[in-house]
Amino acid sequence: MNAQLHHLTLDRPAATRLENEQQAIVVARELAERFGATASRRDHERLLPFAELNALSQSGLLAITVPEEYGGLDVSNAVLAEITAILSEADGSIGQIPQNHFYILEALRTNGTEEQKRHFFARALAGDRFGNALSERGTKTVGHYETRITRDGFGYRINGRKYYSTGVLFADWIAIFALSETDRLVMAIVPKETDGVEVIDDWDGFGQRTTGSGTTILNNVYVGADSIVSHHKGFERPSTIGSVGQIIHAGIDLGIARAAFAEMLEFVRTKSRPWMDSGVERACDDPLTIARIGQIAVRLEAASATVKHAGRKVDRAQIATTEEEVVAATLAVAAAKVLTTEIAIEATNTLFELAGTSSVKLGLNLDRHWRNARTHTLHDPVRWKYHVVGNYHLNGVIPPKNGAL
């Protein structure tokens, strides 16, 4: 490894080494309780969660997917999704930020060299955070890129402009995705402080307001050859890169839905009035309200079970990465993403439907759940997931290989 990969020294405590999956879930719940207490204020005032991300780093949760042979816990993908849901229920922005971090670690596991794996997995175990400079605006589709990486002596130079750079503000390392001189997509991992990297905090979305998903400008950024990962290879053969990324997205939506459901129950029990024709004294005794809450509860349960089921299929595909296992994982994760998208939007809408007019007061900030759900569920359109699943079952068409599946 060149000097670029050894320069980083961070002034924060060493990360905890978690011993098992149950401990990881307990730690996630403890952090969620802490994060949830101030989540509304952070959203309302757009206070970026630097302290919270440092706590997340120190907790050891950011290393839970590091393979065992590199010193990690290598948790089940069902557990990864559940931990994501726990954090997202507390704060939909904080739950979103590590998604790219885990995607990058999976890309490294799949296509990194042994030297890259040893180095970067060790950094994850130490608590380092990886951010993502992937998406661009103004291209033909989200799958097209204008950012270029070109040879310069023993290394490379990168030039381009990225948007939706979720988590980069909080990152220690940035994974920059760029097209090579042969139009192959590569992932270059550089320290955030690298000359030529400019991160702009200009994210102004109405939801997930504190994810730091702004602009990253890359002006003749130098990167050593040993920091380049051939990302395109992960989509030229069966792999679980997309499935891991997508099941985390499902966990985010599931957590947001759970948060809205909990707020709805509390509000209806303690603040809502019954409808005048209901003939009951309390809103929580209204039979139509009870039935509607039952519908949401059933769909939440179904979404949770589907995410867990999909996680197990991704586990199998990581062990036996055959076309058959990867397709099974892809289809299961697509189903999980569909159900969690739909329940996130439905639960956040129903919160106001059942809680009533008083629930829209600005001081309550309950709309943050709807705003977070509506914003996050725009990542990957579920209409295309229905198409992928249907096309496979009806016509035997193998799902496309990309990061959105």
Q: Are residues 107 and 155 in the same domain?
A: no
pTM of the entire predicted model: 0.95
| Nearest alpha-carbon partner for 171 in 129, 139, 134, 211 | 129
| Residue 59: inside a domain | yes
| Nearest alpha-carbon partner for 9 in 156, 179, 119, 123 | 123
Measured CA to CA, the distance from residue 108 to residue 330 in angstroms comes to 19
Tokens of 266: 């509390």
At 39-78, the pLDDT tens digits run 999 999 999 999 999 999 999 999 999 999 999 999 999 9
Measured CA to CA, the distance from residue 53 to residue 124 in angstroms comes to 13
Say if residue 6's pLDDT is above 70. Answer: no
| Nearest alpha-carbon partner for 193 in 166, 151, 222 | 222
| Residue 12: inside a domain | no
| Residue 139: inside a domain | no
Using an 8 Å Cβ cutoff, are 106 and 132 in contact? no
CATH code for the domain in which residue 46 is found:
1.10.540.10
Say if residue 84's pLDDT is above 90. Answer: yes
CATH code for the domain in which residue 348 is found:
1.20.140.10
Domain stop point among 204, 231, 258 = 231
Domain stop point among 213, 231, 249 = 231
| Nearest alpha-carbon partner for 292 in 367, 341, 360, 352 | 352
| Residue 345: inside a domain | yes
Q: Are residues 362 and 273 in the same domain?
A: yes
What is the predicted pLDDT for the residue at 14? Answer: 86
Domain stop point among 170, 196, 231 = 231
Q: What is the total count of domains within the chain?
A: 3
Name the residue range of residue 30's domain: 21-129
CATH code for the domain in which residue 222 is found:
2.40.110.10
DSSP string, 173-188: EEEEEEE-TTS-EEEE
What is the predicted pLDDT for the residue at 11? Answer: 65
Torsion, CA 272, CA 275, CA 280, CA 281, rounded to 10:
40
Tokens of 96: 């979103």
What is the predicted pLDDT for the residue at 8? Answer: 44
Measured CA to CA, the distance from residue 336 to residue 345 in angstroms comes to 14
Q: Tell me the chain's radius of gyration from C-alpha atoms.
A: 22
What is the predicted pLDDT for the residue at 13? Answer: 83
Q: Are residues 255 and 353 in the same domain?
A: yes
At 266-318, the pLDDT tens digits run 999 999 999 999 999 999 999 999 999 999 999 999 999 999 999 999 999 99
What is the predicted pLDDT for the residue at 143? Answer: 86
Q: Are residues 177 and 199 in the same domain?
A: yes
| Residue 293: inside a domain | yes
DSSP for residue 204: -
